[in-house]
Amino acid sequence: QEVAQATWIEAWTCIGKLSEPRAFASWLRQIAFRLSCNHLRKKKSLHSLPENVAYEPSIAWLWSLLRCLAPAQARVVKMHFEEGYTVNEIASQLAIPAGTVKSRIRLAKGVLRQRLEDK
């Protein structure tokens, strides 16, 4: 649980470094894998790492956090980070200004950041 929380905190603080939104899931898995290895290394039990470590439940946990967002915020966050649409593509598809898309993403990040800090 500690590693999962650290994964989301790092992902959230480094989201600006993600150059290709379509690669979000693999980028997140890499963060989780690296932090898991670091955690195990601290415990000096790296040799006991299972061969088939599944990170999908952690990713599912992140997307479940979207339920705490307003529907409009959740929609643009999913479109941008999960489906890989640009701000302009989202604006066009939803028939709203690009500034509104950016605002919804920014507000959603704030809500999610607060939820993570509360945990």
Residue 79 has pLDDT above 70, yes or no: yes
77, 105 Cβ separation under 8 angstroms: yes
Secondary structure class of 111 (helix, strand, coil): helix
78, 85 Cβ separation under 8 angstroms: no
Residue 9 has pLDDT above 50, yes or no: yes
In this prediction, residue 16 has a pLDDT band, given cuts at 50, 70 and 90, of confident
113 burial (CB, 10 Å; 0-12 / 13-18 / 19+) is middle
Phi, psi values for residue 96, rounded to 5°: -130, 160
* pLDDT tens digit sequence for 40-55: 666 654 344 444 444 4
Nearest to 58 by CA among 34, 25, 80: 25
- pLDDT value for 80: 85
In this prediction, residue 6 has a pLDDT band, given cuts at 50, 70 and 90, of confident
Structure tokens at 53: 């470590």
Q: Is the pTM of this model over 0.75?
A: no
In this prediction, residue 34 has a pLDDT band, given cuts at 50, 70 and 90, of confident
- pLDDT value for 15: 83
